[in-house]
Amino acid sequence: MKLSGQKAWGGEVNLGNLWQLIEGNTLTLVKCVPDTSDIRQIGPQEFEFKIMVQMGPVRGTFNSRVKITSIDRDTGKVTMTLNSKGPGAVMDASITAIIGESGVTYDADVKLTGLLAAVGERIIRNYIDGKLNEFLNNLVKLAKTGQC
């Protein structure tokens, strides 16, 4: 499944501060992901955490890992992978984000198995879009105030 979208910053965001977080304090960004707990850094730009998922018949804690695979401040491009395993379901995603003055655009290639694959694409898309929007709102708040 392909997902793409954009989020305008909706006001002044200090991109210098945001890039400092992306390049040097990614743990702070991961803490802005909704419904996460037990976050720990396991390598450079790589983190494990638990995330609570409640989507249709899929409910429970997913053990997840995110790894930022590249950061190019000149072009604004950040790429990452996300792997989540939970009760009877697995999600793997490759994500590309372009961060600019006016906001962020993203594209993701998401692969689902188990119960997640059985849930309708519309439900999954709405759930992921909602959580991603919540994360991006937290990111805007972080860039403006230093806290999610």
Q: What is the pTM of this model?
A: 0.84
Q: How far apart are CA 80 and CA 84, in angstroms?
A: 13
* Domain extent listing, the chain: 2-140
User: Do the Cβ atoms of 13 and 36 come closer than 8 Å?
Assistant: no
pLDDT tens readout for residues 80-130 = 999 999 888 888 999 999 998 888 899 999 898 887 777 777 788 888 888
Please report the pLDDT score of residue 47 as a whole number: 95
Using the predicted structure, report yes or no on whether residue 3 has a pLDDT greater than 90.
no
Please report the pLDDT score of residue 114 as a whole number: 82
Among 4-13, 19-28, 69-78, the range with the most confident prediction by mean pLDDT is 69-78
Residue with the larger pLDDT of the pair 22 and 63: 63
What CATH architecture does domain 2-140 belong to? 2-Layer Sandwich (3.30)
pLDDT tens readout for residues 42-79 = 998 999 999 998 887 778 899 999 999 999 999 999 99
